[in-house]
Amino acid sequence: MIVYKSKDEIEIMREAAQIVSRTLGKVAEAIDIGVTPLELDKIAEDYIRSQDAIPGFLGLYDFPNTLCISINEQVVHGYPTDEPLKDGDIVSVDCGAIYKGYYGDHAYTFAVGNISDEKKKLLEVTHECLNIGIEQAKAGNRIGDIGFHIQQHAEKHGYGVVRELVGHGIGQTMHEEPQVPNYGRRGRGKKIKDGLTIAIEPMINMGTERVTYLDDNWTIVTADGQPSAHFEHDIAVIDGKPEVLSTFKYVEEALAKK
């Protein structure tokens, strides 16, 4: 069942999403060659708690940390380790927070040092996929329209769209109905209408769409070992239009200063 939100609930969700956005901004300030994912995790946890919020992933399905940090061929759900980041890595940082009982869930893929042109292109196109998906989240469309357009854009560049993992409804629980795949057929799925709150999160692989689990049973990696990127925003449909509750503003400000 889809839980549609009132405007008041959406305002709380905007706060939750903004806390995550500012947290990613803190991560953006700190991320660099030689920094460890666990250090970033600590920065994120401390910041979230300073905002009267609770880390949203910590303990969710027994996940042990605040951030999911997935490097290079890791697609999502990597957990932070003490292995320093290296020049040329691309690092997906996915973060959740609970504020006044509502979740924010939001991800950005960072470049560490100098990355290859191929990786740059992957980040660019995956970010475009997110924006293209968001444009489709308007009243009158259906959930399938979001995935259809994301898939088209990714495949146009020869990339693989992960099938096993999808975006989702979000609210008082992290993962609600409906599922929001990054692939699909236009005109299919639930109708989009006011009060719908969803996380759109394309996971795009440079090579094959196929993925596999590492032995840790958390980390999902590409089957061919090629890199993968991931960007995520929280969206609410208000007056028929998609409104982005999260923002990359803080990330972009921090990166511009480097």
| Least distance to Mg ion, CB of residue 105, Å | 4
Contact flag: residue 145 with Mg ion (CB under 5 A): no
Contact flag: residue 176 with Mg ion (CB under 5 A): no
169 or 184: CB nearest Mg ion: 169
- Residue from the set 94, 145, 176, 234 that interacts with Mg ion by CB under 5 A: 94
In this structure, are strands 233-238 and 67-71 parallel, antiparallel, or unpaired?
Answer: unpaired
Angle between helices 37-50 and 7-30 (to 10 degrees): 140
200 or 237: CB nearest Mg ion: 200
Contact flag: residue 43 with Mg ion (CB under 5 A): no
94 or 209: CB nearest Mg ion: 94
Contact flag: residue 41 with Mg ion (CB under 5 A): no
| Least distance to Mg ion, CB of residue 257, Å | 25
159 or 231: CB nearest Mg ion: 231
Contact flag: residue 48 with Mg ion (CB under 5 A): no
Residues in contact with Mg ion, shown as a per-residue x/- string from 203 to 232 under the rule CB under 5 A: -----------------------------x
Contact flag: residue 234 with Mg ion (CB under 5 A): no
Q: Would you say the C-alpha torsion 216, 217, 220, 224 has a positive or negative sign?
A: positive
Contact flag: residue 199 with Mg ion (CB under 5 A): yes
User: What order of strands is seen across the sheet that includes strand 74-76?
Assistant: 74-76, 220-222, 211-213
Contact flag: residue 45 with Mg ion (CB under 5 A): no
Angle between helices 117-135 and 143-156 (to 10 degrees): 160
Task: Output phi, psi for 193, to 5 deg.
Answer: -145, 170
Contact flag: residue 75 with Mg ion (CB under 5 A): no
Long-range contacts of 55-58 (CB under 8 A, 24+ apart): 55/96, 55/97, 55/98, 56/20, 56/95, 56/96, 56/97, 56/98, 56/103, 56/104, 56/105, 56/174, 57/94, 57/95, 57/96, 57/174
| Least distance to Mg ion, CB of residue 232, Å | 5
Contact flag: residue 17 with Mg ion (CB under 5 A): no
Which residues are near Mg ion by CB under 5 A?
Answer: 94, 105, 107, 199, 201, 232
